[in-house]
Structure 1
Amino acid sequence: MDTVNPPLPDGYSAVPAGKIANVVTCLEMLEKPPAKPARPGEQGLTIERWDRPDLGEYRALFRAIGEEWMWFSRLVMPDEELRAILSHPEVHVYGLTDGGRRIGLLELDFRTEGECELAFFGVVTDAIGQGAGRMLMNAAIDKAWARPIRRFWVHTCHFDHPGALSFYQRSGFRPYAFMVEVTDDPRLTGQMRRDAALHVPLIEPR
């Protein structure tokens, strides 16, 4: 038995008010899949390496993409910790731009030898369904497998866009594990809008 992370008991487990419980699905690909075709909507979009991004600009894009899907980890992370990650030579950050506007974020983490984590991936709401996500995923797969890796992996959760899990699977990732994450609700700590992610009930302590 894993004594550090013991399994949850069967049945229901109570979550205290003020907390959120998130079911996470871990997925991986062990070889590069065939490329998916581009769509006409991808024309005019560009993907550019974003070296040592300014924390304010990075968090603004992170929030624009993920606030409705309960992306909050980089919003609550201390500045120095986030800066250390984003400036690490084995963490590659890219922005997807439409004209002069950043509409997508791609972050590849090669810090574990032989692996690449798709740490963050997403596009702003008005770009969903327009081909931008497929363009960004094709680039993610190409850039990850251009390195000598054995495994490319990602995790998503039930708070995320309802099409996220199937998109990852269509892209060649295969589920291999579930996890449950329990954290403070960032809408109650002031780190996210109280009316963000309305599909996730907000339960305040009495």
Structure 2
Amino acid sequence: MAIGQSGATLAHGFHPVAPGDLTAVVTALEMRAPPASLRRLTPEADVPLQLVRWKAPEPGKYRMLFRRVGAPWLWWSRLALDDAALAAIVHDADVEVYAVADRAGVEIGMLELDFRKSGEAEIAFFGLIPGATGKGFGKWLMRRALQRAWGRAGVERVWVHTCTLDGPHALAFYMGQGFTPYARFVEVFADPREQGWLPLEIAGALPMLGHNAPG
């Protein structure tokens, strides 16, 4: 089910999950107007990063950065796509892919904005590699994301979603940047480690119950 759609809700209580599947509680958040802080011209501390637009990135190059940023949080959705399906998304004129690079040109994060739905901007992917977190770079990247999202003509809503597999501070971070939670879902999906999309040793705190479980 796409984020934001309505549907049948789960009954109270415990619900069994197949051994090879995982679950996550997904929270969708939105903002309906640019935050006041975005409209103000305020001096910013020197941040040793730059945002580099990737126009029509080659699928293999895209997946490499996607894994570097998202593997610790079990990002998997783009890894499940073949080259043609992935290119159909990231080569779309209404999808903007950016790499976050340090002064040496090393890519340490990514941002993806999706404008394919009229009047909306989705922050589809937003993240930094683990070694780059906790330094205030996330706020810098979010400001850049919102500048680009709200800078697109006709945008009336910017939204993003996070889940319980993301970093523990992700939800509070988005709320602190001006997003308001509006919906919650439970997602069930095949363990990407079981599928061979991510290494078995990734996310060791989340045990594997399938037949490929190490040990």
Question: TM-score over 0.5 for the alignment?
Answer: yes
Within 1, Cα distance between the matches of 2:18 and 2:119?
Answer: 39
Q: Which residue of 2 aligns with 1:68?
A: 72
The answer on whether the counterparts of 1:22 and 1:157 sit within 8 Å (CA) in structure 2 is yes
TM superposition shift of 1:79: 1.4
Question: Paired residue for 1:191, among 168, 179, 197?
Answer: 197
Where structure 1 has 5 or more consecutive residues not aligned to the other structure, the ranges are none
Q: Which residue of 1 aligns with 2:175?
A: 169
Q: Which residue of 2 aligns with 1:45?
A: 49
Where structure 2 has 5 or more consecutive residues not aligned to the other structure, the ranges are 1-5
One-letter identity of the residue aligned with 1:152? V
Distance 1:38 1:155, change over 3 A: farther
Query: Identity of counterpart residues, as a percentage?
Result: 43
Runs of at least 4 residues off by over 3 Å: 36-40
Within 2, Cα distance between the matches of 1:20 and 1:39?
Answer: 40
Within 1, Cα distance between the matches of 2:195 and 2:206?
Answer: 16
**1:23-42 matched pairs, under 5 angstroms:** 23-35=25-37, 40=45, 42=46
Q: Which residue of 1 aligns with 2:148?
A: 143
Q: Which residue of 1 aligns with 2:3?
A: none
Q: Which residue of 2 aligns with 1:102?
A: 107
Within 1, Cα distance between the matches of 2:197 and 2:43?
Answer: 37
Alpha-carbon RMSD: 1.7
TM superposition shift of 1:152: 0.3
Within 2, Cα distance between the matches of 1:205 and 1:63?
Answer: 23
Query: What TM-score, normalized to structure 1?
Result: 0.92
Partner of 1:175, secondary structure, is: strand
Alignment of 1:116 onto 2:118: no
Partner of 2:79, secondary structure, is: helix
The answer on whether the counterparts of 1:115 and 1:150 sit within 8 Å (CA) in structure 2 is yes
Question: Paired residue for 1:6, among 2, 5, 8?
Answer: 8
Within 2, Cα distance between the matches of 1:141 and 1:32?
Answer: 8
The answer on whether the counterparts of 1:159 and 1:200 sit within 8 Å (CA) in structure 2 is no
Within 1, Cα distance between the matches of 2:127 and 2:9?
Answer: 31
Q: Which residue of 2 aligns with 1:89?
A: 93
Within 2, Cα distance between the matches of 1:55 and 1:139?
Answer: 24
Partner of 1:20, secondary structure, is: strand
